[in-house]
């Protein structure tokens, strides 16, 4: 064809032919309409020349009817989604980026600050449209349910921030105490953890009888700091002394003794 070529009486310069030859469109497209009204994006799609992750900055290129193209061949620019790692990228103050790639096919992976958990997908993907595959997740505070006060006891609540409607934020401390002749069985204080559960189950209050001390001129058995319901005391008097009462004090279910502590009396006074 020489330096120039013709279709349907319209002359196309060699430069235009050289520029378009790398796309190798089918001969059916190279008609008089190719030089006069040619839509490059159709030819590129037919020959699979637009790669994934790129888009044409100008879609239509029209000939001017004089054998010259009206504009240069468009460029392919990479597809990118909105960046999330800038100052205005994450609106949620407790949301953190673990991985970030805003190119087509890239992912953004999220986590939350201590005391918060993710609500929503942990990651999103940059799509061919230039948009992320979904909305950003939210970070919601982790809270523990109100602990149950033990029977014959009460709660000593901490002043930790984050209590909301009776629920407790991570790090909240609660202490327990018993009333009357009862003592704690279990942990006296518990903490709300990141799992949303308390560090220990609530304790319970169990009745205990107090230690009565040693009788004058004698001793008791067994010796304990406190006694469980059902325990009995035996008074052992020193030589020359004797207890007038044969009955033994017994610890009752209400934390009281059934009898006062017997005395050891000298034989000469009996």
Of 163, 230, 170, 172, residue with least CA distance to 196: 170
pLDDT means over runs of 10, the chain (270 residues): 40 39 39 36 40 49 63 86 80 90 94 93 94 93 91 78 68 90 91 93 92 91 90 91 84 91 84
CATH 2.10.70.10 residue spans of the chain: 95-141, 143-207, 210-270
What single DSSP character describes residue 14?
H
**How far is it between the farthest Cα atoms of the chain?**
150
CATH classification number, 95-141, choose in 2.40.50.140, 3.40.50.2300, 3.65.10.10, 2.10.70.10: 2.10.70.10
Domain 143-207 in CATH 2.10.70.10? The answer is yes
For domain 210-270, the CATH architecture is Ribbon (2.10)
How far apart CA 183 and CA 152 sit, in angstroms, is 9
DSSP strand pairing (218-221 vs 168-169):
unpaired
pTM comes to: 0.58
């Amino acid at each position: 064809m020489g330096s120039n070529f013709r279709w349907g009486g319209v002359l196309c310069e060699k430069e235009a032919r050289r520029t378009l030859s790398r796309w190798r469109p089918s001969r059916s497209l190279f008609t008089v309409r190719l030089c006069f009204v040619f839509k490059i994006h159709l030819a590129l799609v037919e020959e699979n020349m637009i790669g994934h992750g790129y888009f044409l900055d100008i879609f239509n290129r029209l000939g001017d009817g004089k054998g010259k193209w009206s504009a240069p061949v468009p460029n392919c620019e990479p597809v990118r989604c909105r960046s999330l790692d800038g100052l205005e990228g994450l609106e949620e103050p407790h949301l953190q980026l673990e991985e970030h790639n805003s190119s087509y096919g890239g992912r953004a992976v999220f986590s939350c600050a201590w005391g918060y958990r993710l609500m929503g997908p942990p990651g999103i993907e940059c799509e061919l449209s230039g948009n992320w595959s979904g909305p950003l997740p939210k970070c919601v505070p982790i809270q523990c349910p109100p602990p149950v006060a033990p029977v014959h006891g009460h709660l000593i609540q901490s002043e930790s921030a984050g209590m909301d409607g009776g629920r407790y934020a991570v790090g909240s401390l609660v202490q327990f105490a018993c009333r009357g002749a009862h003592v704690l069985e279990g942990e006296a204080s518990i903490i709300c953890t990141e799992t949303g559960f308390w560090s220990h189950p609530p304790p319970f209050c169990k009745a205990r009888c107090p230690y009565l001390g040693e009788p004058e001129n004698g001793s008791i058995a067994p010796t304990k700091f406190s006694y469980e319901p059902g325990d009995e005391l035996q008074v052992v008097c020193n030589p020359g002394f004797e207890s007038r009462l044969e009955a033994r004090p017994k610890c009752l279910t209400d934390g009281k003794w059934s009898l006062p502590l017997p005395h050891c009396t000298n034989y000469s006074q009996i």
